[in-house]
Copies of this chain bind each other. A is one copy, B any other.
Amino acid sequence: MNGSGIDFVVVGDICQTPSIDDLAILTNTALAVGSDGSIVWQCPAEDVSDIVEAHAAQGRLQRLSKGQFLTPGFIDTHIHASQHSYAGTGMDKPLMEWLDAYTFPVERQFAHLPTAEVHSLYRRAVRRTLRNGTTTAVYFATADRQASEALADVCAEEGQRAFVGKISMDRHCPPGYCETTEKSLEETARFIESFRQRPSIVQPVVTPRFIPTCSDELLAGLGALVREHGCHVQSHMSESIDEMQFVEAIHQLKDDHHKHNPYPPCPTDAEIFDRHGLLTDRCIMAHAIYLSEGDVERLRARGTAIAHCPLSNFYFAGGLLPVRSLLRSGVRVGLGTDVAGGYSPSMINAMQHAVTASRALSIQQHHERHRLAGVKPWEPFPAGSSDTTSPALDWVNALYLATRGGAEALNMGKQLGLLAEGYRFDAVLWDVTIGDNIDFTGSESRREQLEKLMHLGDDRNIACVWVDGQVSCRRRDRPAQADCKARARDSNSVSWRADNRSAHRQMGA
């Protein structure tokens, strides 16, 4: 433990989740970040006071103030960068109609927009997520290779760790937004090659959109690319009622010669992906609401993870993901915003919805059990029966999913998701003295401060975001404040008497 190769040292508190039920708060901890972006060492500050002082003398010490602390950066395991522009609108249709009405028309345009506009659109998405503390994002771009490469370039420029996917799809796509199988594979290969020119924080991810839009030939070809390049894989799996129906319908059409069997068995999404070598231990499947027991075992055996998108699931899935039960089965789970299926790009928001979705699932299980037993929801069970309702996730569990859970899901649990020796320095600096959006009493413990931030906080409370040891985003200026009442009537009268334009400026300012 020495000073060589160290870029800077941070001294302060660190809050993180080594495991799902364990919130570790390391007070007055010193953490050294190497010039390569990794954490060289981390230990109690009093054990290394000489080294800390030496770095302070060289102007390479960041001593956190009393209201500040670090957490690992958020890992958004499922987000559509191309859909950011309409996030917050158009939440009114089932998935398959939603794609036709909103998604496909927007995504299709990316092939025809001027390069500068593509960059601008993607930059807004990347900056918005960075600002909300997302240090790693697993992105869907669009089917257009060049526009998808632009997203990768933007992530590299903005300093966000990212897995970027050019979408592959060759059937059941709308007019003007469909690839041939051959072109899809060629373009995906070129896309992967292009990453040789980029820094290692940006990586390609093979991205079949989902089973409905991918032929077996396409999936087989993508499987070969995955084996050749060792890429990560992402897609959607068993997401919604209408997607399940669509997959059943196309497979029943295909097996139409089984005239003796009106309902030929339909393979599940997991079986189809697996058939083509796409379920690997570097694969993240979004949603996965309607898994069979066999699917769960298949995901576990392959080491394939699920990107849990709780907000989006409320709208599109028609079901609630049993996160605890999947984790118990040995399936890894990360958290995702699923913009724009989820309207918010904030992982804090995703954490909050992970908890409410989990509580909704507990409610559903509780009511089903009671109804089956013929007793009211608040009545005790008949003797001999036991409560099998899973305990709901709480905010600590959600923080785990948003950080370490995501790292594990990416099979990068040794590099990301913790602030510890050997890990990359991907971190968020929280500050309870800024933002003006939460009323702190000043008597909260560090744990309670963190709890308030995870429930009530937003980007206003984030002072700085580092990725790979470098600052990617930091706050500047003073926060806007609201001047509530008291002298309002008087000051108001003044502005009425000013000319309208300046009155507007005062109001809006």
Contact surface of A with B, Cβ cutoff 8 Å? 8, 56, 59-65, 68, 84-89, 91-92, 124-128, 130-131, 157-160, 241-242, 244-245, 248, 290, 311, 314-315, 317-320, 343-344, 353, 355-357, 359-360, 362-364, 366-368, 371, 376-378, 394-395, 429, 431, 433-435, 437-439, 441, 444, 448, 451-453, 455-456, 458-460, 462-464, 470-486, 488-489, 491-492, 496-500, 503-504, 506-509
Contact = CB atoms under 8 A, between A and B. Distances in A.
B508 A68 contact: yes
Given A84-B439, A439-B128, A508-B431, A482 B473 contact: yes
Residue from A241, A453, A458 whose CB has the most chain B CB atoms within 10 Å: A241
Contacts of A508: 65, 68, 431, 433-434, 463, 475
Contacts of A463: 507-508
B509 A475 contact: yes
Contacts of A241: 366, 377-378
16 contacts: A8-B496, A86-B441, A130-B485, A158-B484, A159-B488, A241-B366, A314-B359, A318-B362, A356-B360, A364-B364, A463-B507, A474-B506, A476-B480, A476-B509, A477-B480, A479-B479
A496 B363 contact: no
Nearest to A460: B480
9 nearest A-B pairs in the assembled complex, by CB-CB distance: A360-B360, A244-B378, A88-B452, A88-B455, A127-B484, A479-B480, A473-B484, A158-B485, A131-B482
A429 B492 CA distance: 14
Nearest to A87: B456
B464 A92 contact: no
A391 to B, nearest CB: 11
A157 B343 contact: no
A85 B451 contact: no
Contacts of A376: 290
A126 B344 CA distance: 27
A400 to B, nearest CB: 16
Given A85-B441, A314-B360, 7 more contacts: A8-B496, A87-B452, A314-B363, A474-B488, A476-B481, A477-B480, A477-B481
